[in-house]
Amino acid sequence: MFTQILRRIATGFVVLWVTLTVVFLGLDFAPGDELDVLLSAEAAASLTPDEMAAKRAELGLDRAFPIKYGIWLKKVVTGDLGYSTSEDNDIAEVLKVTVGNTAMLIFSALFFGIIIGVFFGILAAIKENTWVDYVIGSIPIFIAGIPGFILSLGLIYTVSVKMNLLPSGYMHSLTDESFLDLVKHMILPVSVLSLVLAAQLVRYTRASMLDVLSSEFIIAAKAKGISNRRVTYNHAFKNALLPVISVVGLHLPEIIAGAVITETVFTWPGMGSLAVRAAGGRDVPMVMGIVIVVAVTVIISNLITDIAYTLADPRVRLG
Amino acid sequence: MSKPLLEVSDLQVEFNSRQGRVTAVRGLTYTINEGQSMALVGESGSGKSVSALAILGLLPKKTAKITAGSIKFRGEELIGAPEKSMRKLRGGSIAMIFQDPLSSLNPVLTISEQIVEQIKAHEKIEGKKAQERAIELLDMVGIPSARERVKQYPHQLSGGMRQRAMIAMALSARPSLLLADEPTTALDVTIQAQILELLTNIQKDLGMSLLLITHDLGVVAGFTEKLTVMYAGKAVEQGATAEVLGNPNHPYTLGLLRSIPRLDRPRTSELRPIQGVAPDMSKVSVGCAFQPRCEYAQSKCASESPLFSTISKDRYAACWYPQDHALQDESLSK
């Protein structure tokens, strides 16, 4: 099992390297270079081609492709992602703050989304073909049918504007930096993200649970005289969880992408808003920095999914 | 004469399917005494497994319904008994083992977890002691190095080992009746004999009653005292195993025996399969269900259903024209 996890980690590094290389190629092949970003259009126009070439040499931009690639890769690995023109700050510094803010949203959304989705999924499966099942089954379709930003705007309109219960955006109130204030600001964006996740998980959990509940070992478990509770949770749920783990892993990139839009609507100072600003400001190195962070996140989350799956299913563990 | 342990009389089970109502069991009557073993034989879809699940009250609630009859265990009615007392019986006084041990063991729980859980469901016992008991049980059913095996998962055991583990589990609360639903069907032929031997040895050692459900007459022959043959959801013949196999009264039993290759018959003799196919269980039949396939059928068979009645001492059959064919069966019924 240990070697299996090591192998997965090694694969993760290979995938990361390939991603970084693709990112670099994207940067390198794109028209214009660092010099164009550093110089204003007027400054560039006032320089002769010779002077431009000298500047390029100064910045190391005239070196051969493999050398440039090597230098870039070394910089990235040591955490130097360059300078952001749109944020006017070191990219790594900017990311450190925003990634933390986004992680706060995403982890809360994962936590509540999984709990809500799995709980109602099991409930729907146990109460199959009753009104409970029908209600639980139809709400996710409704939620999935509404784009996340409409849902966000709807919540802002009703909860913040009409009922004046919760703040409509940002992380903190101007005068209040307390934890409670932060939680108040988190409720709406986290609700949107976790509802969207839960809506998908409910259906997967229900299907997976029904599938397991009809298997022979459930009848065999009942024939042992153990309580229904034990049959449901110890026998059925443990097995039904396996496909749900994969689904959460598969949906993680989607959740991160969803966070981009949700953050923008709620003006949450995270990676999502940052990406939108960077793209708007044509800040290519910043966008690339974000791409790298997302890639690393996806690779890590896949790794965690694999490990979780290995822990949950003994057949995978040893086979 | 020992006391009756399980009395099933005129049991009828109905299923609601998309094609309409299917009466899977249409009248099944038998008694198993304490310490007795009985085989329930019939082809696929004849209602034998359904009738076993009915005893434990484990029929799917949404689709199946017991429409008539009674199931008495130690004189107490089980149909409609409260869930709490049924749960005590399940895995306690009445244990069950299933056809495919791989699909009837939970893949994500260790053998130990699955046995201990059953022990704990039926008595107050410390975890450590239950664990020790689990190892003893595995030892008893002939699993080598039980102490290591007990920590493993079902997929790490071979088919025969898994079925042994299932049996160990079933025995964990010292049941007085063991329901074995085709316990050897999913196993290799060589393992089949070992498992059957294990079952009958344990049955005799523990003085337990055994209901062996099978479609294989060969399995029945040496292993059970009593035999009930089912056709289309009904008991068609019943009696001591050796007598039924040696001198079948019902044409269906006779047909089954004639269609089995036998070592004591010349190799050139042809097998005689039963003509036709088993009836559609969603249709209501008038007359004897076997009549369309029966070579002895007469006009009465098509209009009136024969009752399950006494033919001779301790022999029952549901047939208007019971046959009397002594087969040279010494080899089968030894």
> pLDDT (tens digit, 9 = 90+) per residue, A55-105?
778 777 777 888 888 888 888 888 888 888 778 888 899 998 899 999 999
- A139 domain-assigned: yes
Of A217, A242, A318, the CB nearest to B103: A217
Confidence of residue B331 (pLDDT cuts 50, 70, 90): very low
Nearest by CB: B104 against A217, A234, A239: A217
B308 and B27 Cβ atoms separated by less than 8 Å: yes
Residue A259 has which token pair? 């966070």
Q: What is the pTM of this model?
A: 0.80
**pLDDT over threshold 70, residue A236:** yes
Residues of A in contact with B89 (CB under 8 A): 225
Chain A residues within 8 A of B130 when measuring between CB atoms: none
**Tokens for B166?**
């299932």
Residue A262 resides in a domain: yes
| Statement to judge: residues A74 and A169 lie in one domain | no
Asked, for residue A65, whether it belongs to a domain, the answer is: yes
Residue of A303, A218, A288 lying closest to A10 (CA atoms) = A303
A53 and A127 in a common domain: no
Separation of alpha carbons A306 and A4, rounded Å: 10
Count other C-beta atoms under 10 Å from residue A157's C-beta.
12
A80 and A102: one domain? Answer: no
Q: B122, A319: Cβ pair inside 8 Å?
A: no
User: A63 and A146 in one domain?
Assistant: no
Number of Cβ within 10 Å of residue B240's Cβ equals: 15
Instruction: Tokens for A20, please give them.
Output: 């970084």
Q: Do A225 and B106 lie within an 8 Å CB cutoff?
A: no
For position A117, what pLDDT does the model report? 94
| Domain membership flag for residue A45 | yes
Q: What angle do helix axes A284-312 and A91-126 make, rounded to 10 degrees?
A: 40
Nearest Cβ partner of B90 from A128, A223, A314? A223
Q: Does B305 touch chain A (CB under 8 A)?
A: no
Confidence of residue A114 (pLDDT cuts 50, 70, 90): very high
What per-residue confidence (pLDDT) applies to B284?
Answer: 74
> Which of B56, B90, B108 shows the shortest C-beta gap to A239?
B108
Torsion-angle region of residue A248: left (phi > 0), alpha (psi -120 to 50) or beta? alpha
Q: Among A14, A49, A84, give the residue marking a domain's end.
A: A84
**Alpha carbon of B238: minimum distance to chain A alpha carbons (Å):** 27
Is residue A65 domain-shared with residue A150, that is, in the same domain? no
Yes or no: say if B292 and B279 are a contact pair by the CB < 8 Å rule: yes
Residues A33 and A152 in one domain: no
Domain annotation covers residue A319:
no
Query: Which residue is closest to A223 within chain B, CA to CA?
Result: B90
| Cβ(A289)–Cβ(A92) below 8 Å | yes
3-state secondary structure of B174: coil
Number of separate domains in chain A = 2
The answer to whether the beta carbons of residues B193 and B225 sit under 8 Å apart is: no
> Are the beta carbons of B156 and A219 separated by less than 8 Å?
no
Provide the pairing of β-strand A89-90 with B20-33: unpaired
- The CA dihedral of A197, A201, A202, A208, to the nearest 10 degrees, is 180
Mean pLDDT, rounded, for A246-254: 86
Q: What is the mean pLDDT of residues B101-117?
A: 92
Residue A67 lies in a domain: yes
CA distances from A29 to A32, A85, B219, B231 (A): 9, 20, 76, 78
A222 touches chain B (CB under 8 A): yes
Interface test with A, best of B102, B106, B109 (most A CBs within 10 A): B106
- Same domain for A255 and A296? yes
A312: chain B residues, CB-CB within 8 Å = 108
Q: Decide if A176 contacts A246 (C-beta within 8 A).
A: no
- Domain with A27, as residue range(s), is 2-84
Residue-level pLDDT at A277? 85
B107 to A318: CB separation less than 8 angstroms, yes or no: no
Residues A95 and A10 in one domain: no
Q: A61: which residues sit within 8 A by CB, 6+ positions away?
A: A33, A34, A35, A68
Same domain, A51 and A95: no
Residue B80 in contact with residue B61, Cβ under 8 Å? no
Residue B90 DSSP code: B
Of A234 and A168, the structure prediction assigns the larger pLDDT to A234
Question: What integer best gives the mean pLDDT of chain B?
Answer: 87
For residues B290 and B233, the answer to whether their CB atoms sit within 8 Å is no
- For residue B330, the model assigns a pLDDT of 40
Tell me the C-alpha distance between A139 and A132, whole Å: 11
Q: Are strands B37-41 and A83-84 parallel, antiparallel or unpaired?
A: unpaired
ipTM: 0.86
3-state secondary structure of B32: strand
Of A32, A53, A84, which residue is a domain's last? A84
CATH class for the domain made up of B1-93+175-333:
alpha beta
Contact across the interface for B88 and A225, Cβ inside 8 Å? yes
What is the sign, positive or negative, of the torsion defined by CA atoms of B290, B291, B297, B298? positive
Q: Report helix, strand or coil for B307.
A: coil
Beta carbons of B121 and A312 less than 8 Å apart:
no
Shared domain for A98 and A189, answered yes or no, is yes
DSSP assigned state of B156? G
Helix axes A2-29, A284-312, angle to 10 degrees: 160
Residue among A225, A242, A315 whose CB faces B118 most closely: A225
Q: Token pair for residue B235?
A: 């008991």
Q: Of the candidates B212, B239, B236, B233, which has an alpha carbon nearest to the alpha carbon of residue B224?
A: B212
Nearest to A205 by CA among A237, A182, A229, A234: A237
Question: What is the distance between the alpha carbons of residues A319 and A304, in angstroms, rounded to a whole number?
Answer: 19
> What is the C-alpha separation between A280 and A34, in angstroms, rounded?
18
Q: Which of A49-53, A85-89, A204-208, A293-297 holds the top average pLDDT?
A: A204-208
> Across the strands, what pairs with B90?
B94
Does residue B114 contact residue A217 with C-beta atoms inside 8 Å? no
The residues near A316 (Cβ < 8 Å, ≥ 6 apart) are A309, A310
> How far, in Å, are A66, A307, B78, B88 from residue A3 at the CA level?
34, 12, 53, 45
Q: How far apart are CA B249 and CA B317, in angstroms?
A: 7
**Residues of B whose CB is below 8 A from A221:** 106
How many percent of chain B have pLDDT more than 90?
A: 43
Query: Nearest 5°: CA angle at B126, between B123 and B128?
Result: 130
Mean pLDDT across the stretch B267-279? 80
Residue type, B193: A
Q: Is the pLDDT of residue B285 over 80?
A: no
Are residues A95 and A72 both part of a single domain? no
A-to-B residue pairs, Cβ atoms closer than 8 angstroms: 82
User: Residue A41 half-sphere exposure, CB side, CA atoms within 13 Å?
Assistant: 0
Best residue in B94, B108, B116, B213 for a mutation probing chain A (most A CBs within 10 Å): B108
Secondary structure letter of residue A28 according to DSSP: H
Mean pLDDT of B269-298: 83
- pLDDT surpassing 80 at residue A319: no
**Which of A128, A210, A216, A224 to mutate to test binding with chain B, by most B CBs within 10 Å of its CB?**
A224
B211 and chain A: CB distance < 8 Å anywhere?
no
Let me know whether A105 and A239 are in one domain.
yes
- Cross-chain Cβ contact A224/B62 below 8 Å: no
Q: Is B266 a residue whose pLDDT tops 80?
A: no
- Domain boundary residue among A67, A84, A101? A84
Angle at B282 between CA B277 and CA B283, to 5 degrees: 75
Distance from CA of A10 to the nearest CA of B (A): 27
Instruction: Report CB contact under 8 Å: B106, A235.
Output: yes
The gap between the terminal CA atoms of chain B, to the nearest Å, is 23
Pairing of β B76-77 and β B64-73: antiparallel
Q: How is chain B split into domains, by residue range?
A: 1-93+175-333, 109-174
Side by side, which strands form the sheet with B4-17? B20-33, B4-17, B64-73, B76-77
Q: How many residues does chain A have?
A: 319
Q: Are A115 and A156 in contact (CB under 8 A)?
A: no
What lies within 8 Å, CB to CB, of A107 at 6+ separation is none
